[in-house]
């Protein structure tokens, strides 16, 4: 039953041709409800980012203020130390 509310992908298509974002809106009866389902490629979005996107989308639809998300993950969970130094943009442009 739940599958009828999920956006479909044509069978047989390779994963490289699937859409990055799929949205499906389903209306129930005469104004009795609505369901919005979202499918997004993990290549561009993780679960936390999807939740941030959907919350901002809902707030915009309701006309309420949205707060700018704070992307502070690296200050809370810093990446492990690595001796590798990535090239600067100047180094990349010189090549």
pLDDT tens, 30-70? 878 888 888 888 888 888 888 888 888 888 888 887 777 77
Tell me, what's the pLDDT at 94?
65
Q: Cα(64)–Cα(44) distance, rounded to whole angstroms?
A: 26
| Boundaries of every domain in the chain | 18-60
Q: Which two tokens stand for residue 53?
A: 């996107």
pTM (predicted TM-score): 0.54
Instruction: Give the mean pLDDT of the chain.
Output: 78
Give the CA distances from residue 77 to residues 26, 58, 60, 81, in Å, rounded to whole numbers and listed in that order. Answer: 39, 29, 30, 12
pLDDT band at 92 (very low <50, low <70, confident <90, very high): low
Q: Which of these, 41, 39, 43, 48, lies nearest to 70 by C-alpha position?
A: 48
Q: Cα(41)–Cα(6) distance, rounded to whole angstroms?
A: 14
């Amino acid at each position: 039953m739940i599958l009828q509310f999920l956006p479909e992908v044509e069978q047989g298509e390779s994963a490289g041709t699937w859409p990055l974002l799929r949205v499906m809106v389903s209306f129930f009866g005469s104004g009795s409800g609505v369901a919005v389902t979202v499918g997004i490629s993990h290549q561009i979005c993780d679960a936390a980012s999807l939740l941030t996107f959907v919350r901002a989308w809902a707030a915009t639809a309701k006309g309420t203020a949205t707060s700018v998300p704070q992307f502070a993950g690296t200050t809370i969970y810093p990446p492990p130390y690595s001796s590798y130094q990535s090239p600067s943009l100047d180094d990349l442009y010189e090549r």
